[in-house]
């Protein structure tokens, strides 16, 4: 009997910063869940958003963790530059490119979550497991 | 990282050694300056392992050091100091500076006495500061920069601010490096970084950034305090902020480049966030140029914030303004005591093994602390040593220290940068709510202006170590001396 499905992401404690563990049955789903985890930490989720942003990052088969860090940093850039609240997203893969489509709206008020400076390579891991993929990434707060 | 906690050997009451071999690839030992209690905390949160990891960096000399406020960071420990020999393959690691490049602290004194001048109007003052000082995440700086203005800030730092009428001439010499790192290369800062910062100059930011109205509670070393213009009961402002989105983006951009270069050069490190490249390589030079530009932005940012602080004081106390006690300082005697960064890599010269060597000194959550007669000190501080500004946690004491000559050979002229976190943000919020914390602080007579009170508990005093113990450990280790202790009376947070 397979066990219960693991949660799509969980937030990890760190003395100074904050971590995220994300899972997904495919790399695309993993990346999507990781972005939602980031958005939860920042407190930037919203119900509606008409703007759409396409984010592209290069995927190196031997180093998929770097693509995850790049993708999360792209989202942090969007949040910071546009003061964006995120309404929806999808992630697709075409060969060596990961594409995220993000629906968002601007909000002049700061979100009620923790501001993140960047996703880091500290203790970065992205591994294949029996249920799909599992990744851990830490952010600088 | 290994599964067994690394436990250093005691050298003396304030220093501990991590022997070479503790983790594979260590080139030098680790040395942690701490009391036993602080050391136990560092072992517990595994920051000591990170000190050992840093000791593997190519070209590192003497030791991988950690200051008494050490805690777990990302790659480098917070409180970490590492110097590499530039002429002998020594590396620079963007992770050894971090994302908030040149984050630092500035102390502004005044001629006002807290009891006699400020206490009765404290609520009005803190509310005015809260209104005038842009804070929180994202946009909203005091100055919007066009492309030419951005290039000028990145190149000229505080000098740019002075050129557009912000501050007075004497301000520049009271900042580390005279407020500008001449090695800045704005052309190595990406358009994306410049875009993020175009509307952020003169903004406090969020997280652990703050400004506090403080009162000088205790003068510990009267001669040095007098040189700095500090007196008992004096009202001061302490400011903690950094390079905002620009610094974050510079680190993000260049870390990827350095990471790729390190792989090309076959440089292996135990934690990928320690990715590094020899200082002589082009990737390193470009990072150092961009880092210096970000440092100039951080200094100009603190300068623009200082302007808003001075204006706030003028607005509240303008009618009863006192003349400056000395010289021709700005109104209300609001001179800068000093401005110094605690996240930076700098090329400095030290005598090692009987010859002067050019070193790249990384300070990640550590403060430069030059001793007396160092040629880079402003003339007024030449005899006492460099002022070091140590913020406590919100609600606890802060300190003014001075650097020692002894620190040059003990820690490459470095000392602590603050109290150091002891508790994660999640745990801190579970102890009490932000609203409860505000009530508690106000009950102690501390006025609070927080744009997001719900998040305030993340930075509560109980989430940090005892700053008094940290600065006493620095003094015990010979890294710096205590000059004055200040207590918060008003807190403004992003």
Give residue-wise pLDDT tens across range A56-94: 999 999 999 999 999 999 999 999 999 999 999 999 999
B248 catalytic residue (yes or no): no
* Buried/exposed code over B103-136 (b: 16+ C-beta within 10 A; e: otherwise): bbbbbbbbbbbbeebbeeebeebbbbbbebbbbb
Give the pLDDT score at B137.
66
Confidence of residue B425 (pLDDT cuts 50, 70, 90): confident
pLDDT band at B139 (very low <50, low <70, confident <90, very high): low
Contact B271 A121 (CB under 8 A): yes
Kindly report the number of other CB atoms within 10 A of residue A114's CB atom: 22
Closest partner CB to B251 (pick from A66, A115, A118): A118
Is B249–A11 a contact, with Cβ atoms under 8 angstroms apart? Answer: no
User: Is A18's CB within 8 Å of B425's CB?
Assistant: yes
Subunit contact B272:A18, Cβ cutoff 8 A: no
Q: Which chain B residues are Cβ-neighbours of A110 within 8 angstroms?
A: 136-138, 206, 451-452, 494
pLDDT value of residue B394: 85
Task: Summarize the confidence of residues B124-144 as an average pLDDT.
Answer: 84
Q: Give the torsion sign (CA, B212, B216, B218, B219).
A: positive
pLDDT at A1 over 80: no
> Taking a contact as any Cβ pair under 8 Å apart, which residues of chain B between 111 and 140 contact chain A?
136-139
pLDDT at B328 over 60: no
Q: What is the CA radius of gyration of chain A?
A: 14
- C-beta atoms of B425 and A77 within 8 A: no
Interchain CB distance below 8 Å, B99 and A118: yes
Q: Any idea which fold A25-140 has?
A: Archease, Possible Chaperone; Chain: A; domain 1 (3.55.10)
Is it the case that residue B2 has pLDDT exceeding 80?
no
Compute the distance between CA of residue B389 and CA of residue B484 in angstroms, rounded to an integer.
10
pLDDT of B339 higher than 50: yes
Question: Does the pLDDT value for residue B327 go beyond 50?
Answer: no
A19 SS3 class: strand
Mean pLDDT of B302-320: 89
Mutate to test the interface with A, among B43, B44, B49, B74 (most CBs of A within 10 A): B74
Contact between A115 and B137 using a beta-carbon 8 Å cutoff: yes
What does the pLDDT look like over B451-465, one tens digit per residue?
Answer: 888 788 888 989 999
> Which chain A residues are Cβ-neighbours of B252 within 8 angstroms?
73, 118
What's the confidence (pLDDT) of residue B1? 46
Interface of B with A in 361-390 (CB under 8 A): none
Taking the C-alpha atoms of B217, B223, B225 and B230 in order, what is their torsion angle to the nearest 10 degrees?
A: 80
Smallest CA–CA distance from A116 into chain B, residue = B207
State residue B454's pLDDT score: 79
B248: contact with A, CB 8 A cutoff = yes
Residue A2 has pLDDT above 60, yes or no: no
pLDDT in tens, A19-59: 999 999 999 999 999 999 999 999 999 999 999 999 999 99
CA distance A90 to chain B (A): 24
User: Three-class SS of residue B257?
Assistant: helix
pLDDT at A4: 63
Mean pLDDT of A100-122: 93
Evaluate if residue B320 carries a pLDDT over 90: no
Cα separation of B129 and B48, whole Å?
A: 40
Rounded CA-CA distance B91/B327 in Å is: 45
- Taking CB atoms and an 8 Å cutoff, what residues of chain B touch A141? 207, 425
* B281 shares contact with chain A (CB less than 8 Å): no
Mean pLDDT over each residue of chain B, to the nearest integer: 94
When computed from its CA atoms, the radius of gyration of chain B, rounded to whole angstroms, is 21
């Amino acid at each position: 009997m397979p066990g219960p499905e693991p949660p799509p992401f969980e937030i990890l404690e760190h003395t100074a910063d904050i971590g995220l563990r994300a899972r997904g049955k495919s790399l695309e789903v993993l990346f999507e869940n990781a972005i939602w985890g980031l958005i939860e930490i920042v407190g930037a989720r919203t119900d509606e958003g008409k703007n759409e942003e396409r984010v592209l990052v290069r995927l190196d088969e031997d180093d998929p963790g770097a693509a995850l860090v790049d993708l999360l940093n792209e989202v942090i850039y969007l949040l910071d530059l546009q003061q964006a609240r995120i309404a929806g997203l999808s992630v697709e893969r075409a060969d060596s490119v990961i594409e995220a489509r993000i629906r968002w709206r601007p909000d002049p008020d700061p979100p009620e979550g923790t501001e993140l400076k960047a996703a880091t390579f500290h203790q970065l891991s992205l591994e294949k497991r029996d249920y799909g993929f599992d990744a851990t990434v830490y952010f600088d707060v | 990282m290994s599964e067994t906690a690394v436990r250093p050997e005691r050298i003396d009451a304030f220093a501990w050694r991590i022997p070479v071999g503790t983790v594979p690839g260590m080139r030098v030992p680790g040395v942690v300056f701490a009391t036993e209690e602080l050391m136990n905390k560092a072992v517990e949160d595994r920051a000591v392992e990170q000190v050992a990891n840093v000791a593997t960096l190519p070209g590192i000399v003497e030791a991988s050091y950690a200051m008494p406020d050490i805690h777990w960071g990302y790659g480098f420990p917070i409180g970490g100091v590492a110097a590499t020999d530039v002429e002998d393959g020594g590396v620079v690691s963007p992770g050894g500076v971090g994302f908030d490049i040149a984050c630092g602290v500035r102390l502004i004194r005044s001629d006002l006495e807290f009891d006699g001048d400020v206490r009765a109007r404290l609520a009005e003052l803190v509310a005015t500061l809260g209104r005038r000082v842009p804070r929180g995440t994202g946009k909203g700086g005091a100055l919007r920069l066009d492309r030419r203005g951005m290039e000028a800030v990145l190149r000229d730092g505080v000098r740019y601010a002075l050129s557009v009428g912000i501050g007075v001439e004497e301000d520049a010499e009271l900042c580390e490096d005279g407020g500008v790192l001449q090695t800045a290369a704005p052309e190595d800062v990406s358009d994306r970084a410049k875009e993020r910062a175009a509307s952020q100059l003169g903004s406090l930011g969020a997280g652990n950034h703050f400004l506090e109205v403080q009162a000088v509670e205790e003068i510990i070393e009267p001669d040095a305090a007098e040189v700095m213009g500090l007196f008992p009961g004096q009202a001061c402002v302490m400011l903690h902020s950094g390079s905002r989105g620009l610094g974050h983006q510079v680190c993000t951009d260049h870390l990827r480049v350095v990471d790729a270069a390190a792989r090309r050069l076959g440089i292996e490190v135990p934690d990928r966030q320690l990715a590094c490249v020899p200082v002589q390589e082009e990737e390193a030079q470009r990072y150092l140029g961009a880092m210096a530009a970000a440092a100039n932005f951080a200094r100009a940012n603190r300068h623009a914030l200082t302007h808003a602080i001075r204006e706030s004081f003028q607005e509240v106390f303008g009618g009863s303004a006192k003349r400056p006690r000395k010289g021709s300082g700005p109104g209300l005697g609001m001179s800068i005591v000093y401005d110094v960064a605690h996240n930076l890599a700098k090329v400095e010269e030290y005598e090692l093994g009987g010859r002067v060597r050019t070193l790249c000194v990384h300070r990640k959550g550590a403060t430069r602390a030059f001793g007396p007669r160092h040629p880079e000190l402003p003339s007024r501080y030449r005899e006492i040593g460099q002022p070091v500004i140590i913020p406590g946690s919100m609600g606890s004491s802060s300190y003014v220290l001075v650097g020692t000559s002894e620190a040059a050979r003990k820690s490459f002229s470095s000392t602590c940068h603050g109290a150091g976190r002891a508790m994660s943000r999640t745990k801190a919020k579970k102890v009490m709510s932000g609203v409860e914390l505000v009530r508690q602080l106000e009950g102690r007579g501390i006025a609070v202006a927080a744009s997001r009170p719900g998040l305030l508990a993340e930075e509560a005093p109980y989430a940090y170590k005892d700053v008094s113990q940290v600065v006493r450990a620095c003094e015990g280790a010979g890294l710096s001396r205590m000059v004055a202790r200040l207590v918060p009376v008003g807190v403004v947070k992003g």
